[in-house]
Amino acid sequence: MRRGRTFIISGPSGVGKSTVLKALLDQRSDIYFSVSATTRKPRPGEIDGVHYHFVSVDTFRQWISRDEFLEYAEYVGNFYGTPKRFVDDAMDRGQDVILDIEIQGALQVFGKRPDTVRIFIAPPSWTELERRLTERGTDSPEKIQKRLLRAKVEFQTAHTYDYFVINDTVENAVGELDAIMTAEHCRPEERMEIISGR
Amino acid sequence: MRRGRTFIISGPSGVGKSTVLKALLDQRSDIYFSVSATTRKPRPGEIDGVHYHFVSVDTFRQWISRDEFLEYAEYVGNFYGTPKRFVDDAMDRGQDVILDIEIQGALQVFGKRPDTVRIFIAPPSWTELERRLTERGTDSPEKIQKRLLRAKVEFQTAHTYDYFVINDTVENAVGELDAIMTAEHCRPEERMEIISGR
């Protein structure tokens, strides 16, 4: 049985990453979408193991000291991290894994696992990203400009990623993600092993 | 407009490469299948510019001296080569180009054009390759064993290729080729340029 692979998906706020990932997961039910661990308290309706793995600060510290995270970070007083265990279990079962994480986290994961594939979801244009952020209606014009600037800075760092998927339409973006996942299973390392044994 | 990219397709005798490429070209009419130049005389039914570009030894020599080949080789007294010109014209028109060449030729092309994508078509198993060679009925058992051995040697060299497509069924192989071609157009170099300009 072929082993699963891990795909990091990053992208700026407003690019439509969640919508694209939802559509991808609807289409490919064999994918494991990584659930983060956090020390934040659950909000009403949030289920342990589904939205997050909710753990105590002590547990989180223990996991860090045992090197049980692929990446972790602090955000407004709470800790968030990707536990290795669930990712490895899924890959052993043959499932591809998606990590929905930011560039900083991606760098940590890539440092530990250089065979992780990094995909950046980009807007078709900056004007279009601004339009989407405005249409969302959750941010002030100042906040939108700040997000746009941040996206442009991120974009410069993202040149180290393996792939850029442009979210012009959800259908195209999902098609490209699916193609990348198929292509990455055609790498010689994986295939030589299969064929050599026969 | 996006520029085309060049894909080298190699694979051992009997793996079914021609069938796979025919099916791919039927499905994706936008691909340019590179036509080689040769000093060999045309056989009955062969059309200049379709099966080969038939040229004189003098012309071939001139093209070599002007660095007009991506790769070339001699085979039983005749010269064969891939002219740069038609490949470049196709890529400029936005067409992806397929070069159906052997590992030696692939090395030459890759030396000149490191952004060329190299795909090796492999059999699902050695037993299956032997079965296909036997079924073809064109070779003696000794010749088949020689081809098998050659395929295994080639396979060891082919680990430097970017992708291995396993021809278990034509449909799967074409699907993987198509996915690889889509994925390779999602490379940051190509996409950064598009987005930066907007």
**pLDDT tens over chain A, length 198 residues:** 789 999 999 999 899 999 999 999 999 989 999 999 999 999 999 999 999 999 999 999 999 999 999 999 998 899 999 999 999 999 999 999 999 999 999 999 999 999 999 999 999 999 999 999 999 888 899 999 999 999 988 888 888 899 999 999 999 999 999 999 999 999 998 887 777 666
Minimum distance, in Å, between the CA of residue A23 and any CA atom of chain B: 18
B35-95 topology per CATH: Guanylate Kinase phosphate binding domain (3.30.63)
Q: Give the largest Cα separation in chain B, rounded.
A: 62
Where are chain A's structural domains? Answer: 1-31+96-198, 35-94
CB–CB of A95/A32 below 8 Å? yes
How far is it, in rounded angstroms, from Cα A76 to Cα A68?
Answer: 22
Contact A158 B188 (CB under 8 A): yes
pTM for the full model?
A: 0.91
How would you class A113 by CB atoms within 10 Å of its CB: exposed for 0-12, middle for 13-18, buried for 19 or more? middle
Non-local CB neighbours of B5 within 8 Å, separated by 6+ positions: B91, B96, B97, B115, B116, B117, B181, B184, B185
Contact B195 A123 (CB under 8 A): yes
Tokens 């894994």 correspond to A97
Q: What is the ipTM of this complex?
A: 0.89
Chain A environment of B159 (Cβ under 8 Å): 188, 192
Q: What is the pLDDT of residues B73-121, one digit of tens each?
A: 998 899 999 999 999 999 999 999 999 999 999 999 999 999 999 999 9
Residue among A155, A163, A188 whose CB faces B187 most closely: A163
- One of 3.40.50.1370, 3.30.63.10, 1.10.10.10, 3.20.20.70 is the CATH number of A35-94, namely 3.30.63.10
Order of strands across the sheet with B117-122?
A: B32-33, B97-100, B6-10, B117-122, B163-166
Contact B195 A166 (CB under 8 A): yes
DSSP letters, B147-188, are: HHHHHHHHHHHGGGSSEEEE-SSHHHHHHHHHHHHHHHTT-H
Q: What is the pLDDT of residues B8-42, one digit of tens each?
A: 999 998 999 999 999 999 999 899 999 999 999 99
Chain A environment of B188 (Cβ under 8 Å): 120, 158-164
How far is it, in rounded angstroms, from Cα B82 to Cα B34?
Answer: 7
- Superfamily of the domain at A1-31+96-198: P-loop containing nucleotide triphosphate hydrolases (3.40.50.300)
How would you class B166 by CB atoms within 10 Å of its CB: exposed for 0-12, middle for 13-18, buried for 19 or more? buried
